[in-house]
Structure 1
Amino acid sequence: MQRTVALLTPSHSKDIDRLKLLCDSIDRHVMGHERHYIIVNDSDVSMFAEFKSDRRVVLPSSQFLPKWLRLLPLFLVRSGRRIWWSFRSRPVHGWHVQQILKIAAAVQLPEQRFCIIDSDNVFFREFDVGAYAGGEKTPLYVDRNAILATAPLHAVWTRSCDRLLNQAETGFPADDYVGNVIVWDKSTVTDMTLAVEAAAKRSWQEALCRTRV
């Protein structure tokens, strides 16, 4: 049975020009998806209204974030980076919040598969994402033994996941699952959130905010 597939792109105001290139390339070259969801900060929704269409939806981040996680006003931020704060965890930055948004959207939105595409991508030839991502098995991107123990980002992320799940440290070199176009399955993502909550003894959102690096 064919699964329904949606495209999912978290974005922000500084990425709007790159997002336009992505959307134009999707409209020209990509087929087989139900919708393209773009998730942005609530204050940016009107700025992104130009991207709305019959198959493209712009959604506010508040639809997917827990009520206790609040965006710090810009006048309180010196670095220019957006920061979310709460009394339950340390402050988290935009990159961390985007991961929470992706997970929450995959759980809450109606489609069964989600092709995660960041704003800084462009399609240059025809791509049937429904045929690629909608089959019985979910495509899994993995680069075997690609993460060395000295990798400045990916090794840190891998160790953070081990702490999050209260499991023994992963041996290196480790497999890398990070890529430009990644497919997630709704039921698998839901099971992942339940596993995180079972290990952390708190909501998966709070667990991620507490374990972030």
Structure 2
Amino acid sequence: MNKRFTPDEQAAVAGMASRETPRAAMVTASYGPDFERCRLLCETADRHATGIAHHYILVEGRDVALFKQLETPKRTVVDERDLLPKWLKCFDDPLSGFKRRIWLSFRTKPLRGWHVQQLRRIAIASHVSENTLVFCDSDVAFLRPFDFGAFRKDGKTRLFRRDHALREEGLDGHIQQRIWSTNAGKLLGLQAKNDVGHDYITTLIAWDRETVVAMCRHIEAINHRHWVAAIGSERKFSECLIYGRYVDEVIEGKGHFHDAREFCNVLWYGTALSDDKFRAFVAAMSPEQVAIGMQSFIGTDVSRIRRLVLVE
């Protein structure tokens, strides 16, 4: 994973991929405190998921040794230093009592871990050969059989989209997402009046690798600087909204089909769940949902999740 493909190599890989059976890679951006959750993701994916050519786990340099425990012939831990520009440096943040990390450069605003995880997801496209990238957070666990072939149909990649969802009134959670969408439009050189408010954010979503590489080139052409510097000039951004708006509004949907079904039942907010509430959460999965996701800050102990998921 230390090798960076040249443009000619990227073109060669893309050409080979177009002639071969489409291959999907699962991509997970994680960090030390989520290690046990990521371990559970790996175990449940190995048990239930098929059609995965490889699984890439993207972490900060100091977390590489820890996550190496999860490597297999089909699972690789990738150091972010092999993905991101050398001028983006990570430090312990003194303003947090050295408990949090901060990424600094003269080309971006100060960035936190959740910002840099998004940059890793974009950057991995230039370093792998699989033509479909499926993003799965480390706090996800698979509960049912699932074939990653669901992300391709008739030679096209599935683009998750909730039509006009960000225009719905009374949904406070969408206020932030509307800002992210606005910033995505600016980044891509789109006119603000054309933002129809589609939502592209969930977990277990797919991107086309070649499209991501082309998106980065487009961002650099529009902003006249490295794509990381362009995205990092704002602290309020979403990689999902950037990619979704690029596909729909820059390349007019080429190579993609839309689908609003969510394959993962996600608990975005709330408090730690009791066993009974956890079982009710699982029971509420819709027929097409094959996994659950519980944000780690909610506080449900991962050992409890493990017991309920793997034993019951």
Global fold match (TM > 0.5): yes
Q: Please tell me the residue identity of whatever aligns with 2:144.
A: R
Q: Does 1:27 align with 2:46?
A: yes
Say whether 1:188 aligns with 2:211: yes
Q: Which runs of 5 or more structure 2 residues have no equivalent in the other structure?
A: 1-19, 237-312
Residue 15 of structure 1 corresponds to 34
Structure 2 counterpart of 1:137, which letter? K
Query: Structure 1 170/43 Cα, relative in aligned 2: closer, same or farther at 3 Å?
Result: farther
Aligned to 1:81: 100
- SS of aligned partner of 1:118: coil
- Measured in 1, the distance between the counterparts of 2:160 and 2:107 equals 33
Matched to 1:158, the amino acid is: S
Does structure 1 residue 58 correspond to structure 2 residue 77?
yes
Identical counterparts, % of pairs: 34
Q: For residues 104 and 43 of structure 1, what CA distance do their matches in structure 2 show?
A: 19
Q: CA shift at 1:169, angstroms?
A: 1.3
Residue aligning to 2:160: 141
1:75 is displaced (CA, Å) by 5.1
TM-fit CA distance, 1:191: 1.3
SS at match of 1:184: strand
Match of 2:150 among 120, 132, 154: 132
Letter of the structure 1 residue corresponding to residue 233 of structure 2? R
Which blocks of at least 5 consecutive residues in structure 1 are unaligned? none
Would you say 1:167 and 2:190 are equivalent positions? Answer: yes
1:116 counterpart residue number: 135
* Residue aligning to 1:156: 179
Distance in 2, Cα, partners of 1:110 & 1:204: 21
Higher relative contact order (CA 8 A, sep 6+): 1
Residue range with higher mean Cα deviation, 166-175 or 106-115: 166-175
SS of residue in 1 equivalent to 2:210: helix
Q: 141-150 or 113-122: which moved more?
A: 141-150
What residue identity is the alignment partner of 1:163? K
Report the TM-score when normalising by structure 2.
0.64
Partners in 2 of 1:79 and 1:123 — Cα distance? Answer: 35
Residue by residue over 1:23-48, the C-alpha shift from the partner in whole angstroms, topping out at 9 and shown as x without a partner, is: 11101001111111101111111111
Task: Quote the offset at 1:74 in angstroms.
Answer: 4.9
Count the aligned residue pairs: 212
Equivalence for 1:204 = 227
Q: Secondary structure at the match of 2:163?
A: strand
Residue 45 of structure 1 pairs with residue 68 of structure 2: no
Bigger CA radius of gyration: 2
Q: Does 1:72 align with 2:91?
A: yes
Aligned to 2:111: 92
Q: Which moved more, 1:34-43 or 1:142-151?
A: 142-151
Distance 2:91 2:161 in 1: 36
Residues 1:178 and 2:197 are matched in the alignment: no
CA distance in 2, matches of 1:170, 1:157: 15
Tell me: CA distance 1:187–1:111, structure 2 relative to 1, closer, same or farther (3 Å): same
Tell me the SS of whatever aligns to 2:142.
coil
- In 2, distance between residues paired with 1:80 and 1:159? 32
Is the deviation greater in 160-169 or in 33-42?
Answer: 160-169
- RMSD, aligned CA: 1.8
State the alpha-carbon separation in 1 of the partners of residues 177 and 137 from structure 2.
Answer: 18
Letter in 1 for 2:151: A
Higher helix share: 2
Code of the aligned partner of 1:19: C
